[in-house]
Amino acid sequence: MHLSYLLQGLLELVYPPRRACPLCGSQTSKGEICPHCLQWVRRHGSGPVCPVCGRFINLPSVEPCNHGRHPCPICASQAPAFNAARAVGPYEGVLRDAILHLKSKGTRRVAAALGELAAEVVHREPAFAAAELIIPVPLAPRRLARRGFNQAQLLALELGNLLELPVDTKAVAKVRETKPQIGLSRYERERNLIDAFAVITPETIHGKRILLIDDVLTTGATMDNISIKLRRHQPSTILALTAAGGKSGVSFV
């Protein structure tokens, strides 16, 4: 665990933060997620999703016979290397704001709230509930040093705590710095990630049901790339969970 993260926890004990919703900042009695945010997540996060990549399906654009039962066009054209992905909700509204906050500040309360919501997704998806080992998507060492924390790792640690699962932050490393994925086409994103990730401890992967954690799943190229590397070491299953996911047919970055 990063030192500044631990210090933040200690500081919060000495100087308790304002009792505010960790997602939107509105006043709440105990600093819990406010009813408005909970309702937003329940409404937006519970719609039909692609059973493979977990993209939220825009209902009006979906044929009545395909309410989350068949893979989305992207998964139908090329199945990803992970077994399934799910997200707390789409990357918009309060969820997007909270993730941007977590990414820029590494605030523990925000990580804890998103971890709590991610744990709910795990509990309602039997395959995810059977996971044995949590692995956060790593950052390249230089970027980690610049930022001081890895938001995927913060999320993974909160989730590991809630689910009582081990979190392996050393199993996969980002061995090459890559260009930001934003603004790249799907093809360019895949090319951008070639040999960016490496499995460091293959012995921890073999036969395991792995839960990969990241803040956002956009095209799924990062999760797919790591999963290709993990597959070489015969895990039992690879599941991907993010605080926010994409919408089928909508490109948001």
* Residue among 93 and 202 whose Cβ is closer to Zn ion: 93
* Residue among 34 and 135 whose Cβ is closer to Zn ion: 34
159 is a contact residue toward Zn ion (CB under 5 A) = no
* Residue among 75 and 102 whose Cβ is closer to Zn ion: 75
Shortest distance, position 81 Cβ to Zn ion, whole Å = 13
Three-state SS at 112: helix
* Residue among 37 and 114 whose Cβ is closer to Zn ion: 37
* CA distance linking residue 67 with residue 65, whole number of Å: 6
* CA distance linking residue 179 with residue 221, whole number of Å: 13
Residue with the two structure tokens 């290397």: 81
The amino acid that residue 15 corresponds to is Y
Stretch that binds Zn ion, among 17-25, 101-109, 123-131, 154-162 (CB under 5 A): 17-25
* CA distance linking residue 247 with residue 57, whole number of Å: 6
34 is a contact residue toward Zn ion (CB under 5 A) = yes
Q: What distances in angstroms separate CA 15 from CA 8, 11, 12, 139, one per listed residue?
A: 10, 6, 5, 30
* CA distance linking residue 177 with residue 158, whole number of Å: 26
21 is a contact residue toward Zn ion (CB under 5 A) = yes
Tell me which residues in 63-82 interact with Zn ion (CB under 5 A). Answer: 72, 75
112 is a contact residue toward Zn ion (CB under 5 A) = no
**Residues that bind Zn ion in the complex, under the rule CB under 5 A:** 21, 23-24, 34, 37, 50, 52-53, 72, 75
